[in-house]
Amino acid sequence: MEFHSFLIKYGEIGIKGKNRYMFEDALVRQIRYALSDVDGDFYVHKCHGRVYVDCNGEYDYEETVEHISRVFGIVGICPVVRKEVKEIEELKKDVVSYMGEMYPEGNCTFKVEARRANKRYPMNSMEINCALGEAVLDAFPDMKVDVHNPDVRLNVEIREEVYLYSEIIPGPGGMPVGTNGSAMLLLSGGIDSPVAGYMIAKRGVEIEAVYFHAPPYTSERAKEKVMDLAKLVSVYSGPIKLHVVNFTDIQLYIYEKCPHEELTIIMRRYMMRIAEHFAKKDGCLGLITGESIGQVASQTMQSLAATNAVCTLPVYRPLVGFDKREIVEISEKIGTYEVSIQPFEDCCTIFVAKHPVTKPNLERIEKSELNLTEKIDELMQTALDTTETIIIGQKEADSF
Positions touching ligand ATP (CB under 6 A) are: 186-188, 190-193, 210-212, 271, 289-291, 295-296, 298-299, 346-348
Q: How far is the CB of 296 from ligand ATP (least distance, A)?
A: 5
Rounded to whole angstroms, how far apart are CA atoms 222 and 230? Answer: 13
Which position's Cβ is nearest ligand ATP? 190
Q: How far is the CB of 93 from ligand ATP (least distance, A)?
A: 57
Query: Among Mg ion, ligand ATP, none, what binds residue 187 when CB lies within 5 to 8 Å by partner kind?
Result: ligand ATP
Residue 92 or 241: the one with the smaller Cβ distance to ligand ATP is 241
- 201: exposed, middle or buried (C-beta count within 10 Å: 0-12, 13-18, 19+)? buried
Among 188, 237, 308, 387, binds Mg ion (CB under 5 A): 188
Query: Among ligand ATP, Mg ion, none, what binds residue 174 when CB lies within 5 to 8 Å by partner kind?
Result: none
Residue 52 or 247: the one with the smaller Cβ distance to ligand ATP is 247
Q: Is 194 in the site for Mg ion (CB under 5 A)?
A: no
List all residues 6 or more positions away from 101 whose beta carbon is below 8 Å from its beta carbon: 1
Query: Among Mg ion, ligand ATP, none, what binds residue 184 when CB lies within 5 to 8 Å by partner kind?
Result: none
Q: What H or E segment, with its residue span, contains residue 237?
A: helix 220-237
Query: Among ligand ATP, Mg ion, none, what binds residue 347 when CB lies within 5 to 8 Å by partner kind?
Result: ligand ATP
Query: Three-state SS for 112?
Result: strand
Full 3-state SS string of 168-221: CEECCCCECCCCCCEEEEECCCCCHHHHHHHHHHHECCEEEEEEEECCCCCCHH
Q: How far is the CB of 192 from ligand ATP (least distance, A)?
A: 3
Between strands 5-10 and 74-84, the pairing is antiparallel
Footprint of Mg ion on 318-347 (CB under 5 A): 346
Q: How far is the CB of 276 from ligand ATP (least distance, A)?
A: 13
Q: How far is the CB of 311 from Mg ion (least distance, A)?
A: 19
Residue 240 or 347: the one with the smaller Cβ distance to ligand ATP is 347
Among 73, 79, 174, 190, binds Mg ion (CB under 5 A): 190
Report which of 6, 147, 130, 149 is spatially closest to residue 66, judged by C-alpha positions.
6
Residue 99 or 196: the one with the smaller Cβ distance to Mg ion is 196
Q: How far is the CB of 359 from ligand ATP (least distance, A)?
A: 16
Length of the chain: 400
Rounded to whole angstroms, how far apart are CA atoms 336 and 349? Answer: 20
Q: Can you state the angle between helices 263-281 and 301-308, rounded to 10 degrees?
A: 40
Residue 350 or 370: the one with the smaller Cβ distance to ligand ATP is 350
51 beta partners:
8, 46
Report which of 77, 71, 72, 74 is spatially closest to residue 10, judged by C-alpha positions.
74
Residue 175 or 347: the one with the smaller Cβ distance to ligand ATP is 347
Residue 155 or 188: the one with the smaller Cβ distance to Mg ion is 188
Rounded to whole angstroms, how far apart are CA atoms 7 and 380? Answer: 51
Rounded to whole angstroms, how far apart are CA atoms 99 and 359? Answer: 65
Q: What H or E segment, with its residue span, contains residue 272?
A: helix 263-281
First to last CA, the chain: 31
Residue 161 or 346: the one with the smaller Cβ distance to Mg ion is 346
Query: Among Mg ion, ligand ATP, none, what binds residue 298 when CB lies within 5 to 8 Å by partner kind?
Result: ligand ATP
Residue 109 or 246: the one with the smaller Cβ distance to Mg ion is 246
Query: Among ligand ATP, Mg ion, none, what binds residue 291 when CB lies within 5 to 8 Å by partner kind?
Result: ligand ATP
Rounded to whole angstroms, how far apart are CA atoms 288 and 246? Answer: 20
Pick the piece of the chain touching Mg ion (CB under 5 A) from 7-15, 91-99, 188-196, 213-221: 188-196
Binding site for Mg ion (CB under 5 A): 188, 190, 346
